[in-house]
Every structure is written in structure tokens, then in C-alpha cells.
Chains A and B, each alone.
Chain A
């Protein structure tokens, strides 16, 4: 690099950070205007790792998003009373003022047909459909009293991801990479993986960066073909030829930099070099040939077939490569009882898809010493009702008032947190609202959720809006 332009850039940066508190472009402006705690970002390298507000317990996140809303009553929450009252009308006192997506008011209570057992020192109840979760019963912080505000899939998923039910806000992964940057040198800082029969409702809006710069949006790795869009060089361009191509582009950009003196050209030079590296790093990531047979067996992963299991393994490989935030989506938890989504065989199938690999991920991270500072989050956008639906096969409607999620590692305290009433309608102890969950996750990552903000349309926006209370009981 020509020292003159380097010094020009340094001067610009110095102004940016020290002299005026002002930087280049919109980012800087927002920082200038925001309250204390707004993140200072180098626009030329937005992912440059940054320190949070205080020492974090978790340095990275793997979020296993169970799209559709898993039935807590058939997996985690054993309710003998519900079985006892199977087929009876729910108590009117529990139903008044409630709104459901599909229930008409004539539905009756539905006991779970699944057998439950008690596991681990903590005595967690788990159904027969989640046998592998027994192995991590004491590694996991079980949140049995999660509540949300929204009972439709799209808005509820957005709410769980962005703290707001309409699109347009940054997702959790965007907030985290905005706050922390990412040490991953040649992979995106926020990666999304997807499995299941269809895409999650609300789609790419779930990992969008909202009003934050697009550098912080999630990059979906594709299950088929090249993992990153446009990663592959045109056929006929060998690696050597591509090196020559990138060098030539760099040469011309360098020449233009010398003529114009615009330090932004340095940013583009860096971006092209990273792109070139990504062409090898991304395929290396996807290449599972170095994984042992034991590991593949642990996850239940066939390296050749896209699956939730393969994505869990990729998630571990991603964080090993310093990616900050990995989010997996797995669909078909929407067990209404219709075709392809009943609580019978369809539910068993999705449980098989998810149980083993979810547990394997925790065990694998643990044995590699990665679990301590990696936060694993598991859960859907809401739970399911104690009432069944009047459909051909077994099913439950969406339930916002009480459902189960779990977290592991990254400073989440193992054990059972929260309890619901004997029918599973509401939380009687240890309620964790979505905003509280967000506040706590940010805390584990070293942030005061009230100070991680970004000025937009005149407001200092936060993941937690104007809400959110730290749930101290689940912090190790």
C-alpha cells in the first residue's frame, strides 16, 4: 500500500474516532447521534471485532430455531392432570380473553399420548420422543416458562428474532454482530442454515439487518450447490487464473486510488481479497471428509445429504472458524393435525430429525471445550395449546402463554427454570418473556441491553425495544 494513502486513510479514521466522533457515511452519523453505548464501527471493516460493555460469558451463539412451534406438552412438560381431563372442556377461567389462531371455542383438552420420564440430577421431564436429550439433561438450562405476545407464525418468528412483530427491525444475529463484529477472517460473521420441508415463514426477513447496515445481515448458506451465492468462479477459470484475475482488478483499483486518493478504494481492495479467500474457505467448511466416523455417528449425519444433523455439524465447524452467530432453522413443528403436520407420525419424524443432532451438538461442543463460551439456544416462536384441534388427526394450536426453550453453555445456568400450571396453560413460576430472553442473551454476550442501540427515525432503537428484564436466575 502506498504510504501516502494509508496515512490519508488513517487521518480520516482518526477524525472518525477521535477528533469529531464522526465517521464516513450513515453509520457514523448514527453513532454521532445515538446515546451512550452506540457501537463505533469502522465502515471500512464493519466486522472488526469489538469489546462489549463488560466481560462476556459467551463469545458466540448457535441458535437452533424450531420453526412452527414445537409442542412442549409432548416433549418437555409432563401434565398428568391434562391426561386425566382429556376430552373435557377447558376451564372457562383459563379461556376468557384469550385469542388463538385457529381454535373455534369448541375444542377440548388433549392429554399427551407420549410417555415421559425424569432425567438427570435436575430431574427434567422428557418424553420418549427426545431420548437423546436425556444425555444433556444436566448440561442444559431448561426454560419452561417462556411467553410471547404473538400467535401467528410470521409475526411471532419476527418477534422472537427481532423483538418486534412487523418486519424491518434487525435480527438478533445482526444486533450481535453489530455489537461485537466477528473474528472470522474469510467467512461472514452471521450465517444462517436451513433444513426441513420448506422455508420458515417470514423468510429472509428473519435474518435481515433492518435499519442496521446490510453488512450485518445473516448470510444464508445454501444446502445445495455452492454454499454462498455466486461463490463459484465461471467454469474454465482455474484457481490460478482467478488469482491473476483478482490481482489485475487490484492493480487497476490501486492505480485509481493513486489518481483519486479516495481511501474508500482501499475498502474495495480488501473486499475483493476476502471474496477470493471465501472461495476456498466456504467449500472447506462444507467438506466433511475430515470428520471422524464417531462424530458423524454422534450427529447422525450423512455428509452427502442436507439435513438438520449436517447443519448442526456445520454450525460447530462455523464457530470453530470464528463465526460469531450461527442460526439454524428447521421447519415442520407446526403440529395442527392437518395433513403432513399431525402430532402422530409427522411429529415423530421431526423429533427424530432434531433430537439426536441437537444433543450431539451440545456434547460435541463440550468435549471440544467450546461449550463454555458458546451459547446454544433451542426453541420455536411459540408453543402449543393444551387443547387439541378438531381435525382428522391429532394436533394442537399455537400457544403464546407458556412454552419451553433451552439454552446450553455460554454462561447459561444448567437446571430447570420455570413451571407452568397443572394443565400447562400459564406460567406459575419463572416466567421468561421474549424481551427478557433477549436481555439475558445480550447480557451473556457482555451487553447491557439498554445500551446497545442504534439511532433510527429519531429513536435509539434496541433489540428489547423499551422492554426487557434480565433473568438473573438463569445466569451461571
Chain B
């Protein structure tokens, strides 16, 4: 299919070329490359073995090169460009293409195109993704431009779009996509009565759960986890960064600012604490605390991971390929890789050592840091420490010869100016003197701590020297090749007019990534948003926009979305609203037998997709249906019950102190994630392992998933709670079962479905009536208040509902 669409795309281009009138703006890829490629490249192209006259026209430098007082192409001046002279020459020894090539003279139109192209500056263009985002005008005929683009394409293929999904399905779809939670039956009813999609979209986008849902997508890319990785895989508290993400998305922080704060918040003037926490993005790299580890090796590993993560997340490029050699397919040289690496090479952090900032629970949500018995809020602590420092300095000054000179020296400095050792010296002394501080010991290794030291980025005062590593080996710096300065990908920068070519810091990098002229960032970002709504990006290889990736199925739509994103001030919520209110999004996801042959993969978007929800949402949905959900936002990660023995497979026996009370029922995204041994639900349902960035999750379907939903104690507990709800809310058996369908699937059952579940429940009730002991063993304390056989049968019905494909699928 992809090949077919590429051809269609080319056909469109060919059509444009065939147009008689000269285009207003001559484009290299569209108009010029085909001429040069057909007529000139054989002798003046990339192959240096067959190059004549030392002239190459596939590169602008070649075309413009001084050939001894003249050049093939002089931008703006066709009359002095040798190329023009030659192609129109009547001299048989001069004319190009030459007679020996047996090519006819160039048609007049081609000559005119070349002339106009040179007049307009003779700009070259690269691969589509490296071209500036085109200003695409939506075709007429649809209210929502998205539909205009999609339908134009469908019409050209003679395919009709699918009808809108029924209101109940649409309501559940919007809830799951925007918040990751299920609508209540009452919310479905309200929407069915007045199916106002824009209104519901606004309501859901205003929910803090939107920040969680889309924050989780972002956290995948940020390779966020609650542990260090590698063999020891110690716990680390980095939830303030997670909270920052949730808050930033909920606030609809413009994506350019969102980028700048995460990549370089520390380099902004007078950064706020939140801006420092944001830089935790790149501290989510792994740390190896194993004995004998070379800290430099793991520092370099982390820096390299920052390079490839930045490349994947913002640019959709496989920059990491150039670590050992120049990229085989994309214009990223071995040297450029290390120039890019130089942005991150100044980082002060070295494996387990690095800058941190104390953050209290709730602080990222603007709550004042509260003082509790267990913890002193960070704000209060800072105040305490300030007071103590002043007093201690006075004491040291008065102590004369007995003074601790090192401590006194450190105390005289501002905290920010202190070295790591000095900060520790001061902190230790403070904690020794202040029992309240000691009691809540700030750290990031305590899962229970309410105030933690969030790891942040900070650069060394004096930049580290960066060299190219031969074959990517950090023990083999290419000192002969010279020091490398920070730099971006030249091929991308080439299409960004007016952008400085000198780069110094991560801040410069961040600003370059979100410069409105950057052709990749808005395309890549919008493509991933699209992927979450339709199961596949418009560019299917969402992490490879290079020449080895796939072409966009709807190039105009992608560019329109990218342009609109920038135009709307990089507002994510604006783009979400645009997409979910489109008719394309609202279509039914039912398969179309008429398209089974023509478009089995739904590339043309003539329908929606049924998508199995992610591991976290599997849990969240069951928590919603059972009514057990604790909707609290952010804070410490939690530990719901998990089977014994999960950690018997890890190096260091980890303690899993099961959370008590409402914390057991927090959303899936808050479950503590150990990189070496994740919560089994997560790995079973394809959560990534967060060793590296994850820009797209796989969706598998395995027997282990079935066993989890059928037998995992957590799901059985939820099935019990659901059974109680069904029983109490319902009435007669059918009403109870209807209630169950509506709580889990957000819709009333079809007659056939109701009959299947009714027959089953009746049979189970009859069976359990003869075996009350078994019935009782299935009952929670709440269920045990009800007649045992009936209660056990209700539990069985609830368990069935949680195990349906429909339940874990967004339709």
C-alpha cells in the first residue's frame, strides 16, 4: 500500500510539472530535480568516478563552485550562469547535454524553469521531511479542514467515509482518548441526549485527567521510570518531573515553551523551581551503581541517550545511527553527531552524581508545601536552612581557630555557587543540627518521602571538551580531528532561513527545535498526536522521518496540521480539539467489507480504528467500572498488591511495601515502575521497559494478558466491587446485567449479548446454590452481605465483562 501511495504522490507532482504556466515559485524537488536528474547527473552527479569537468550538480556547492572565473550556476543571474549558456547554445561542441549523450536539446519549458529557478536564487531542496512545512490550503467543502483533506483523497478513490459512530461509542472514545477514564452511564446518557462533541471535548480537555492521559504519552518519550536501571536498579524518586508534565499539559503550556523548559529550563534567566524540575526530562537516563563501573562510561552512555532521544522525540530522526559512522541514508555526518552531542556533553551529572532540587508533594500543582508530622515542606525547610546557615556562620566566625574552615567557606557562598561537595557538607551539618530536617531526610531513594531531591540538569562552569569518538567508542576520542563545538543537523538547518548558525548551549538547541521554521518538530509532534487517535501516524514510521521512513499518506494534511499547530501558538489542546471534533475522528470503527481488498489497513481513513488500550488504561478502566478509582493526581508512586516472587528474579531483592487504603486504587500511571522488573500488568500489556525513549507502543495480544484479566487478584477485587455495584444499582437480573454492560462498555447490550450473560449468570447461580462453600470463597466482605449464590453469580458476570475484548478496546 505504501508503495502505491508514494506513486500517487509522485503522480500529483508530475501533474504540477505538466502545467503550462510557470509556477510562481519554482521548487527544486518538484521542478528542477527531475530535469537535472534526467539530463545532467549521469556525468555531473554524486558518483565521482563518472564525473566530468569536476562539476557536480546534485549539490548546490557543486553547482555554484568557481570553475575558474565562472560558475555553472550563479544565483539570481541566469545570464552569467554557464549552465544556462550551455543548454541554449547552438555550438555543437558546447551544448549540453552533449551530442555523445544522445539526449535531445532541452525543451523550452525546462529552460524557462531553470532560468526562473536561478533567478529566484537557485535553492536546492532535500528529502520531503527536510523541506519547510508547506502552507497547505484545505480543499473546499468541509467545515473542518481535516475532513476536507481526508475526504478529497477518499473522493479521488471513489470511497465514501463511514458514518459517525453511535453516541455511546463516541462518548466512550472521547473519554478514553482524552482522559483515559471511562464515562459513567450517566455521562453517556447526558451525551446521548445531546451529542455535542465540541462541548464534551472542551469539558474533557479542561479535566486534570487530560494532563494525566497525554502526560503518560509524553512520559513514554521521556523514558520516565522510578528506578535507576542496569543491574542494581535502585529506586529513585523522580515523580516531581512526572507531576510537572501533567501540570504543563493540563495548563496547555505551549509546546515551544514545554520544549525549552525541559531541555534547558535551567539556562533560562532566573529559572523557577518548576523550570528546573522540567529539566528532569533528560535526567531520566539510566544510572549504573554496580561496583567497578567506570562513571565516565555511563556518563557518556547517558549523554548519547540524550542525543538519540532528542533526535527521536523532536526530529523523528535516527540520529543515534551516526554514533559510529556517518548515517548511511540521512544527511547526518559522524561529525555532526558529536556536534549535537556537545550540547549535552557540558552536563555536570556523571552517572550517579548530579544536580538536584528539593520538591515537595503537590508543589508542582501549586500547592504550598505543607508541613506534616513526617515531612517538612521544602519551602519551610529552605527557610529553616537559611536561618540556620546565618546562625551557623556567625558561630563559625566566632569560634576562631576551632572553626570548621571548610564549612565556613561553604556557608559564605550562595547555595547555587557551591560545589557538590560543599552542598553536601552544608546539608549534612544542617541535618545534624535540625532534627526536623533529619526526620524527613530529603533524598530520592525513599519511596515514602514526601519531599524529594529531583534530579535536574546543570552545566559545568567550564565546558567539557568534545571530540568525535572513533567508531563511537568513548575511549577513542579523535583528538586529531579537533575540538567540536555544539551544532545542529545541517540538512535541517539549511531550510531554516534567518536562524543563527552559531550554537552554544542546550537553550540554543531547544529554541532551534521549536523555531517556527523547523520543518520537523511540528510535523513529528502532530504525527504522533494523530497516531494516538487513529492507531497509526500519517507517517507510519513516526520515529523515522528520514529517507528510510515511509512517506506521509496525506502530505497536505500533515503539513496543514503542522502549520496550524505553530499558528495556534503551539497549543496542544487546540489541536486535540480540532482533531476530535472532525468527522474523520468521529467515524464508526466498524470494519468495511467493501474496503477489505482496497484498503485493509485503513490508510485512507474511511473509518476509525478499534484500539486496545494501554496497560495503564486497562487498569484505569477496571477501576472506573468497579467504582474503586482514586482519582488523586500526582505525587508519590504507589504499590498496589502484586504477586509474590516478582522480585525473586532481580539482583537486589526489592521491597514492595504494598500501599494501603485509597493508594491501592490509584491510576495505572502511578504504579511504581522498576525498569528491571516492572509491575507484571505493565509488561504483559506491552508497556515499554524505558531503557530508551519509546515513541510508539506495540499492541500485542497474548494468553498471559487473558490470564491477567481473568485471575490477577487486583482484577478479581475489581470484579467483586463491580458485582456489588451491579447488584445494588440494578433491580431484577436483567437490570443488574444491563448496569454491568453500561459500567464496563458504556453501552446497553445487544439482545444477544444480554442473553449470553443472563444464561451464564443463571446457570452459575443454580450451580452455586448447590455449592455454597465455593460461592462464599469468591465473595469480598461487601459481596458477602448478599445471598451467596446470587452474589457469586454476579461476581462471575462482572468478571466476564472485564474480560471481554470490548472492555479493553477503544472502539
A interface residues (Cβ-Cβ under 8 A, vs B): 4, 8, 11-12, 15, 20, 22, 24-27, 29, 32-33, 43-44, 46, 100-102, 151-155, 157, 166-168, 188, 192, 194, 198-205, 208, 210, 213-215, 217, 219-220, 222-225, 228-238, 241, 244-245, 248-249, 251-253, 255-256, 259-265, 267-268, 271-272, 274-275, 278-279, 457-459
Contacts and interface: CB of A to CB of B under 8 A. Distances in A.
B179 interface: no
B452 interface: no
Interface in B516-563: 540-541, 543-544, 546, 548-550
A261 B590 contact: yes
Q: Which of A100, A188, A214, A224 gathers most chain B CB within 10 Å?
A: A214
A152 B289 CA distance: 11
A223 B3 CA distance: 50
B711 A230 contact: yes
Interface residues of B, number: 103
A23 to B, nearest CB: 8
Nearest to A10: B596
A410 to B, nearest CB: 26
Across the A-B interface, the 3 shortest Cβ-Cβ residue pairs: A154-B231, A458-B318, A261-B591
B596 A11 contact: yes
B711 A232 contact: yes
Nearest to B291: A101
Interface string B213-240: 0000000000000000111110000000
B781 interface: no
B701 A152 contact: no
Nearest to B327: A458
Contacts of A244: 760, 763-764
B686 A253 contact: no
A262 B648 contact: no
A202 B600 contact: no
B710 A167 contact: no
Contacts of B676: 167, 202-205
B689 interface: yes
B701 A264 contact: yes
Nearest to A205: B676
27 contacts: A15-B601, A20-B2, A26-B699, A33-B548, A152-B290, A154-B288, A166-B691, A167-B230, A188-B704, A199-B647, A199-B651, A203-B233, A222-B648, A228-B707, A234-B716, A245-B760, A245-B796, A245-B799, A248-B756, A249-B803, A252-B753, A260-B610, A271-B703, A275-B710, A457-B543, A457-B544, A458-B329
Interface in B563-618: 589-593, 596-597, 600-601, 610, 612
Contacts of B710: 230, 233, 245, 275
Contacts of A222: 645, 648
Contacts of B684: 214
A253 B804 contact: yes
A263 B591 contact: yes
B87 interface: no
B618 to A, nearest CB: 13
Interface in B689-723: 689, 691-692, 696, 698-708, 710-712, 716
B651 A198 contact: yes
Contact of B698 (A26, A194, A198, A231): A26
Contacts of B308: 457
B591 A168 contact: no
Nearest to B610: A262
Contacts of B699: 25-26
B293 interface: yes
B651 A230 contact: no
B651 A457 contact: no
Contacts of B89: none
B406 interface: no
Nearest to B3: A20
B179 to A, nearest CB: 23
A98 to B, nearest CB: 13
B7 interface: no
Interface stretch (B426-434, B662-670, B770-778): B770-778
A275 B98 CA distance: 72
B805 A46 contact: no
Contacts of A234: 711, 716, 777-778
B30 to A, nearest CB: 26
A229 B707 contact: yes
Contact of A262 (B591, B653, B689): B591
A12 B596 CA distance: 7
A267 B705 CA distance: 12
A278 B544 contact: no
B301 interface: yes
A373 B686 CA distance: 33
Contacts of A198: 651, 653
Given A230-B712, A272-B706, A154 B651 contact: yes
Contacts of B290: 152-155, 201
A12 B686 CA distance: 23
A252 B600 contact: no
B257 to A, nearest CB: 28
Contacts of B550: 29, 33
B292 A8 contact: no
B648 A458 contact: no
Q: Which of B320, B699, B702 gathers most chain A CB within 10 Å?
A: B702
Contacts of A223: 645, 648
B643 A215 contact: no
Given A199-B651, A275-B707, A255 B596 contact: no
Q: Which of B596, B763, B775, B799 gathers most chain A CB within 10 Å?
A: B596
Contact of A101 (B292, B600, B708, B774): B292
A236 to B, nearest CB: 4
Interface string B766-804: 010000011111100000000000001000100110011
A210 B703 CA distance: 20
Nearest to B643: A229
B757 interface: yes
Contacts of A166: 230, 286, 301, 691
B207 interface: no
Given A11-B596, A168-B691, A230-B643, A199 B650 contact: yes
B403 interface: no
B387 interface: no
A236 B701 contact: no
Nearest to B543: A457
Nearest to B649: A199
A64 to B, nearest CB: 17
A180 to B, nearest CB: 17
A167 B593 contact: no
A32 B540 CA distance: 11
Nearest to A265: B805
Contacts of B544: 457-458
Contact of A214 (B548, B650, B653, B686): B686
A204 B650 CA distance: 7
Contacts of B706: 268, 271-272, 274-275
B143 interface: no
Interface string B1-12: 111100000000
B651 A152 contact: no
Given A167-B675, A234-B778, A264 B645 contact: no
B752 interface: yes
Contacts of B645: 222-225
A236 B691 contact: no
Nearest to A9: B596
A85 to B, nearest CB: 26
A43 B549 CA distance: 21
Contacts of B243: none
Contacts of B698: 25-27, 213-214
Contacts of B773: 236
A235 to B, nearest CB: 4
B281 to A, nearest CB: 19
B373 interface: no
B321 A22 contact: no
A97 B563 CA distance: 56
